[in-house]
Amino acid sequence: MRLYNTMSREVEEVRPSDGTVRIYLCGVTVYDYSHIGHARTIIVFDVLRRYLIHRGYSVKFVQNFTDVDDKIIRAAREKGVRPLELAEYFIEQYFNDFDRLNVLRADHYPRATEHVGDMHALIKGLMDKGYAYTTSKGVYFSIVRDADYGKLSKKPIDELKAGARVEVDEEKLDPLDFALWKFAEDEPSWDSPWGRGRPGWHIECSAMSMKYLGETFEIHGGGEDLIFPHHENEIAQSESLTCKEFARHWVHVGMVNVKGEKMAKSLKNIEPIRSALSRWGPNAIRLYCLSAHYRKPLEYDESLLRQALAVWRDVENALFELEHAMQVPADEGSRVADELRAIVDDSFSTFMESMDDDLDTPRAIASLLVPIRAVNRYAAEDMLDGSIAGAVMKRLNDMLFILGLRRADVSMEERARIEEMVRRRSMLRAEKRYREADEIREMLRAEGVELVDHRDRTVWKKLG
């Protein structure tokens, strides 16, 4: 597949050397609930991963948790809990949110605090090679020793120095030198060959990505706000040490904006995932996050979520119609089945083509809607049957898998109960006892089950 590479600023073919695509995603710092901005990045990578899996690659996916950091320590102090407890709590919340968003679990979720030893090894290596030095505050990486520093963000170093907004630290050799290890005595802190302290922010990702994926791997990414300085510094550390290319492909996801401003905790304009979930549900949120190309900014606005939900309702409707149609005796060699098969095959190839072209999800979604619409049309004309449903299910499911969309789960018990109520209502309707029939419909609606009356049967769907 072809993907834009921030390093070259060009769309390039992803070419894993051995059929395995190794992906490292910079995850979240766990000091608060995750918001829609995080969801976008993580969902985009989830879809990338799902697509690659579907294409037959084996994918090794690693995503870190930054669980030691000044913000965590500050937040813990305010709440009167220990920093690691706070981090643990928000990690649990993270899984809660993203499981509900149907994001596949990574192969590893390394935590910074569990890899301090690995970081020490890297820092020692950098010291030995003369890339790092010690001051009274910590151990720093010296960027002047790194000839190609700035190659990812394409920043001329002189410019950065001139406009440096970072505090001037007289002890550093260069204002752009960054901490590998910061001396500190308070909790949490670890002993190190240079003194007790905590890791700098960037070293954890170098240590953990190389540990789980090797010194060179295929894809490294995150939000585009990580390009500088985070990813730039990771490259500097890692490549200075190994003398090898760190990641082949750098993938960065655009920001979610609120009224034109970036959604950020510091701006107090965040929409937590948990509250968005309760209002729109996982599928609408996923469709919303994928409704714009991943490298473009995405505006957070209720009308867009509403739109995404409307799209999902169409998809969901088609899925339930198909499921019910499976029980309708098939008309052998049905012309409609052939037509629908042609429509869905065509849609599928456009879908895959779009995904292959730098993850063009808006176009992919548009092509998915073609067979959805066709199914709904046949359903409205009461023309669906088992053979038709069979003709489209597989391809449709492939597309839904890649986008990570799925309709609500219905347990056997729930299914039986719903169908019993539907049967009762049908009988009441046959006797024209509409008030009682409507009561049943209302009861079901209250629990998120919608009924669709067809000529001689009623299709129910559980809203997801």
Partner RNA sequence: GGUGGGGUGGCAGAGCGGCUAUGCGCCCGCCUGCAGAGCGGGUAUACAGGGGUUCGAAUCCCCUCCCCACCUCCA
Site for RNA in 243-282 (CB under 7 A): 253, 255-257, 260-266
Contacts to RNA from residues 384-443, by CB under 7 A = 429, 434, 437-438, 441
Size of the site for RNA (CB under 7 A): 84
The three-state (H, E, C) secondary structure of the chain, written as one string: CEEEECCCCEEEECCCCCCEEEEEECCCECCCCCEHHHHHHHHHHHHHHHHHHHCCCEEEEEECEECCCHHHHHHHHHHCCCHHHHHHHHHHHHHHHHHHCCCCCCCECCEHHHCHHHHHHHHHHHHHCCCEEECCCEEEECHHHCCCCCCCCCCCHHHHHHCCCCCCCCCCCCCCCEEEEEECCCCCCECCCCCCEEECCCHHHHHHHHHHHCCCEEEEEEEHHHHHHHHHHHHHHHHHHHCCCCEEEEEEECCEEECCEECCHHHCCCCEHHHHHHHHHHHHHHHHHHCCCCCCCEECCHHHHHHHHHHHHHHHHHHHHHHHHCCCCCCCCCHHHHHHHHHHHHHHHHHHHHHHECCCHHHHHHHHHHHHHHHHHHHHCCCCCHHHHHHHHHHHHHHHHHHCCCCCCCCHHHHHHHHHHHHHHHHHHHCCCHHHHHHHHHHHHHCCEEEEECCCCEEEEECC
Told to check if 83 binds RNA by CB under 7 A, we report no
458, 425 Cβ separation under 8 angstroms: yes
**Closest distance of CB 52 from RNA, Å:** 19
Is residue 95 involved in binding RNA (CB under 7 A)?
no
CB of 124 to RNA, least distance (A): 23
Among 91, 228, 242, 277, binds RNA (CB under 7 A): 228
Residue (304 or 326) nearer to RNA, CB: 304
Among 119, 311, 319, 384, binds RNA (CB under 7 A): 311
Nearer to RNA, 145 or 461 (CB): 461
335 touches RNA by CB under 7 A: no
Among 166, 342, 427, 443, binds RNA (CB under 7 A): 166
Q: Does residue 227 interact with RNA by CB under 7 A?
A: yes
Distance CA 61, CA 227 (A): 20
Give the C-alpha separation, 336 to 346, whole Å.
Answer: 15
Subset of 199-218 contacting RNA (CB under 7 A): 201
Minimal distance in Å, beta carbon 102 to RNA? 18
Tally of CB atoms within 10 A around 138: 22
11 binds RNA (CB under 7 A): no
Binding status of residue 55 toward RNA by CB under 7 A: no
Closest Cα to residue 372, out of 396, 407, 337? 396
- Distance, in Å, from the CA atom of 459 to the CA atom of 315, rounded to the nearest integer, reads 15
Which of 144, 380, 416, 443 binds RNA (CB under 7 A)? It is: 380
The stretch among 86-94, 117-125, 334-342, 447-455 that binds RNA (CB under 7 A) is 447-455
Asked if residue 17 binds RNA (CB under 7 A), the reply is no
Query: Looking at 47-55, 132-140, 227-235, 395-403, which segment touches RNA (CB under 7 A)?
Result: 227-235
**Nearest CB to RNA, comparing residues 222 and 282:** 222
Nearest distance in Å: CB 248, RNA:
19
Please select the residue that binds RNA; options are 244, 306, 424, 457, rule is CB under 7 A. Answer: 306
Of 15, 79, 129, 377, the residue at the interface with RNA (CB under 7 A) is 377
Give the pair of three-digit tokens for residue 201: 């922010």
Nearest approach in angstroms of CB 353 to RNA is 10
Among 79, 154, 415, 423, binds RNA (CB under 7 A): 154
Give min distance, CB of 351 to RNA, in A: 11
Contact between 189 and RNA per CB under 7 A = no
Asked whether position 224 contacts RNA by CB under 7 A, the answer is: yes
Give the integer Cα–Cα distance in Å for 2 and 35: 29
Residues 292, 328, 393, 400: which binds RNA (CB under 7 A)? 292
* Interactions with RNA, residue window 25-44 (CB under 7 A): 26-29, 37-38, 40-41
Which listed range, 74-82, 183-191, 226-234, 388-396, lies at the site for RNA (CB under 7 A)? 226-234
Dist CA 321 CA 308 (whole Å): 20
From the CB of 28, what's the least distance to RNA, in Å? 4
Using CB under 7 A, pick the residue from 110, 138, 197, 229 that binds RNA: 229
Q: How far is the CB of 306 from RNA (least distance, A)?
A: 6
Taking CB under 7 A as the criterion, the residue among 66, 113, 192, 237 binding RNA is 66
Residue 140 binding RNA, by CB under 7 A: no
